[in-house]
Amino acid sequence: MSQEKMVEIQNLYVNFYTQSGVVKAIDGVNLILYKGETFGLVGETGCGKSVTANSVMKLIPQPPGKIERGRIFFMPPGGTEEEMQRIQEQMNELRSKPDLPKDDTQLKKLEKEMAEQRAVADITARWNVLWKQPASPERDAKISELDRELYAILNKYDLIPRTKKYMQKIRGKYISMIFQEPMAALNPVFTAGFQISEVLLLHERRELAMSALKSVEEEKKYLKTHKLAKKIKDVKGENKCSICSSAVQDEMERCPNCDNYFKAIPLKPLKTMSLSYTAAKLKRVKKNPYSFINKRLAGRRIKLESMERAERMLRLVRIPDPQKVVNSYPHELSGGMQQRVMIAIALACKPQMLIADEPTTALDVTIQAQILKLMRELQEETGTSILMITHNLGVVAEICDRVGVMYAGVIAEVGPTGPVFKEPLHPYTQGLMNSIPKVNIDLPRLETIEGNVPNLIKPPGGCRFHPRCPYAMDICRKEKPPMMEIRPNHLAACHLYTGVTF
């Protein structure tokens, strides 16, 4: 697993100011997600999983919600050997080019990145030395000085102080989210195709212009050679090529026999001159994706291209009859279909980070397996990190590399999936694992965790789990337990493990 961080949440506190009181939904969450990993977030209902995910996207409704404190770093430099080696390799590759100008912008960017990585590595090394020293006010002062130094480098990666406009550039393109309730997340007045193409038009205009340009060039070529080439439907309803009369399938763009290009047909036949004009405009978009273009010619081409890609995305998420669904409104779709439209929107731009908030709850088991496979394929192809929020512990065991267990707004335990499932440390995780029904054991009653998640307006003091914990001690009622690394990479926040090492 990579040691490069994708998202680092530090000390996050989120409150909701409601009429009945302040809901302390997130109470000091710390979490790191690495590049290319699948991280499962589990916990009972109302534990704060969705609020944590929405905070990363900065989608907490404000009011009543408010991010009180905390930092959320997106792709921060970690100062690890691995990162520095990757940047060094990229720099060497660039430098080996014989015609590289001295002030090449990409090389300059890499050099800047490298300097940042070195500074972070240096501060981390000094921090580690200080941390091992016996506690004293001087040591603490030096540590907070180092923290300030580190934040001065990392603050540009912090999403919390970012503007709405900046977040709009990040959302969809770099961080995508499959929301828990598709009906509430989809816009009821736009078609599914429009909503998928919207993301593409916002973030991938250049790529769309490039493929539109390709088809315009093809059309130009085709107009020159075969003025009247078409797909013609005969009496039996079969498609035939108008040039060589051989049978062609609906989805074919070219005649398999004479290589005629059909893509031009659904559009109004354009004269070569307007095609050249459109091509010139599309080339402008290729240079500057937000340049002004004629809506009727080049704009229409880009839109058509985006709708085609939307249809392809729908096919990818295994929606039956994508041609129809692309023009359907959300209320015309079933719950499972809406969820798949949401998944198509989230995956359209191949994001770096995918937050999947119960992505497969409305789907039957076969589709669920297909969607999980699709996510894994995306991960293999683009190195996407996935934050998988689910109640289905089977899905977590199947696909997650690491798992985090949340309880009442705090992270109770984090670790690699195998150890967390086999030897859970926190009493809450033990309770969750025991409540999984087992087919090979005959029990008169299924095991449960006594009680309910507390009301977060008046959460219990100390450890929030203590009223339900079978091992609760005095200290649990008074002090909030810190997160401790009990086994390698396996952390738990529980007083039971104070001073214990395995």
Ligand X SMILES: Nc1ncnc2c1ncn2[C@@H]1O[C@H](COP(=O)(O)OP(=O)(O)OP(=O)(O)O)[C@@H](O)[C@H]1O
Residues that bind ligand X (CB under 6 A): 16, 18, 23, 25, 43, 45-51, 61, 64-65, 180, 456
**Residue placing its CB nearer to Mg ion in the complex, 213 or 410:** 410
Among the listed ranges 11-19, 174-182, 344-352, 396-404, the one in contact with Mg ion (CB under 5 A) is 174-182
Quote the least distance from Cβ 41 to ligand X, whole Å.
8
Q: Which of these, 273, 318, 315, lies nearest to 297 by C-alpha position? A: 273
Strand ranges for 140-246 from DSSP E: 175-178, 231-233, 239-241
Quote the least distance from Cβ 432 to ligand X, whole Å.
13
Strand ranges for 408-500 from DSSP E: 410-416, 484-487, 490-492
Q: Which does 25 bind (CB under 5 to 8 A by kind): ligand X, Mg ion, none?
A: ligand X
Q: Which does 29 bind (CB under 5 to 8 A by kind): ligand X, Mg ion, none?
A: none
Q: Which does 47 bind (CB under 5 to 8 A by kind): Mg ion, ligand X, none?
A: ligand X
The single residue listed with the structure tokens 């989230």 is 346
Measure the CA–CA gap between 394 and 347, rounded to whole angstroms. 23
**Residue placing its CB nearer to ligand X in the complex, 10 or 180:** 180
Quote the least distance from Cβ 181 to ligand X, whole Å.
9
**Residue placing its CB nearer to Mg ion in the complex, 24 or 495:** 24
Q: Which does 77 bind (CB under 5 to 8 A by kind): Mg ion, ligand X, none?
A: none
**Residue placing its CB nearer to ligand X in the complex, 309 or 464:** 464
Among the listed ranges 127-135, 177-185, 212-220, 376-384, the one in contact with Mg ion (CB under 5 A) is 177-185
**Residue placing its CB nearer to Mg ion in the complex, 389 or 420:** 389
- Restricted to residues 28-67, the positions that interact with Mg ion (CB under 5 A) are 50
Number of residues counted as binding Mg ion (CB under 5 A): 2
**DSSP β-ladder status, 38-42 and 385-389:** parallel
Q: Does 306 bind Mg ion (CB under 5 A)?
A: no
The single residue listed with the structure tokens 């599914």 is 192
- Under a CB-based contact definition with an 8 Å cutoff, are residues 231 and 241 in contact? yes
Q: Cα–Cα distances in Å, from 312 out to 231, 302, 372?
A: 21, 15, 18
Q: Cα–Cα distances in Å, from 13 out to 9, 28, 387, 412, 480?
A: 10, 5, 19, 15, 15
Instruction: Determine the straight-line distance between the first and last CA of the chain, rounded to whole angstroms.
Output: 23
DSSP label at residue 162: -
Quote the least distance from Cβ 288 to ligand X, whole Å.
40
* Spatial CB neighbours of 500, under 8 Å, sequence gap ≥ 6: 486
**Residue placing its CB nearer to ligand X in the complex, 15 or 215:** 15
Measure the CA–CA gap between 88 and 244, rounded to whole angstroms. 56
**Residue placing its CB nearer to Mg ion in the complex, 182 or 481:** 182
Quote the least distance from Cβ 176 to Mg ion, whole Å.
17
Q: Quick one: tokens of 324?
A: 């129809």
Chain residue whose CB lies nearest Mg ion: 50
Burial code (b: 16+ CB inside 10 Å, e: under 16) for 120-137 equals bbebeebeeeeeeeeeee
Q: Which does 333 bind (CB under 5 to 8 A by kind): Mg ion, ligand X, none?
A: none
Quote the least distance from Cβ 166 to ligand X, whole Å.
23
Measure the CA–CA gap between 216 and 109, rounded to whole angstroms. 35
Q: Which does 172 bind (CB under 5 to 8 A by kind): Mg ion, ligand X, none?
A: none
Q: Which does 163 bind (CB under 5 to 8 A by kind): Mg ion, ligand X, none?
A: none
**Residue placing its CB nearer to ligand X in the complex, 352 or 390:** 390
Residue ranges in contact with Mg ion by CB under 5 A: 50, 180
